[in-house]
Amino acid sequence: MKVGISNDHSAVDLKNSVLKHLEEKGYEVVNYGTDSTESYDYPIAGSTLAKAVLNKEVDLGIAICGTGVGISIACNKHKGIRACCCSEATSARLTREHNDANIICFGARVVSTELANDIVDAFLTTPFSNGERHKKRIAQIHQIEEEQ
């Protein structure tokens, strides 16, 4: 599986830690974020990753800013992106199963390196359940996007 990762200036260390963790597990990881602690706006970091997911350059994405909130809002502005901001692994698993989320977001000021690894492991190893009720709700989300 090919995974994209992106981050703003507040999440360089956590991005590098997650990236190393995933490469050790055998994932191919593409780094779309900044490697500098100079100010780098989270809407740009999120949008770059969202476009890569939509263009199928990568299968799934990981987006990290200070809280995970700003970057998730930016990702979710892209039609077809379902980005989940969370701080624990259960939500990361369920957002794949129920929402077919294609980007997971969290905050470098919120989660530890260990928790970040648990979150990405849960997210990347869980398939969409493909249940009819979940497919119906995702179709409703697409409908909302079409109405904009």
10 binds ligand RB5 (CB under 6 A): yes
Please report, for residues 61, 72, 87, the alpha-carbon distance to residue 124 in angstroms, rounded to integers and kept in the order given: 9, 17, 15
How many angstroms separate the CA atoms of 133 and 20, rounded?
A: 37
66 binds ligand RB5 (CB under 6 A): yes
DSSP 51-66: HHHHTTSSSEEEEEES
Residue 4: Cβ within 10 Å count: 25
Report the residue number, 6 or 67, with the smaller CB distance to ligand RB5. 67
Specify which residues 104 forms β-bridges with. 62, 84
The secondary element (H helix, E strand) that includes residue 3 is strand 2-7
Q: Which of 48, 67, 91, 99 binds ligand RB5 (CB under 6 A)?
A: 67
Residue 116: Cβ within 10 Å count: 25
Catalytic center residues: 65, 98
65 binds ligand RB5 (CB under 6 A): yes
Report the residue number, 33 or 70, with the smaller CB distance to ligand RB5. 70
Binding mask 92-121 for ligand RB5 (x = CB under 6 A): ------------------------------
70 binds ligand RB5 (CB under 6 A): yes
Rounded least distance, CB 38 to ligand RB5, Å: 12
8 binds ligand RB5 (CB under 6 A): yes
Q: Is the dihedral of CA 139, 144, 147, 148 positive or negative?
A: negative
**Minimal CB distance to ligand RB5: which residue?**
70
Residues near ligand RB5, by CB under 6 A = 8, 10, 42, 65-67, 69-70
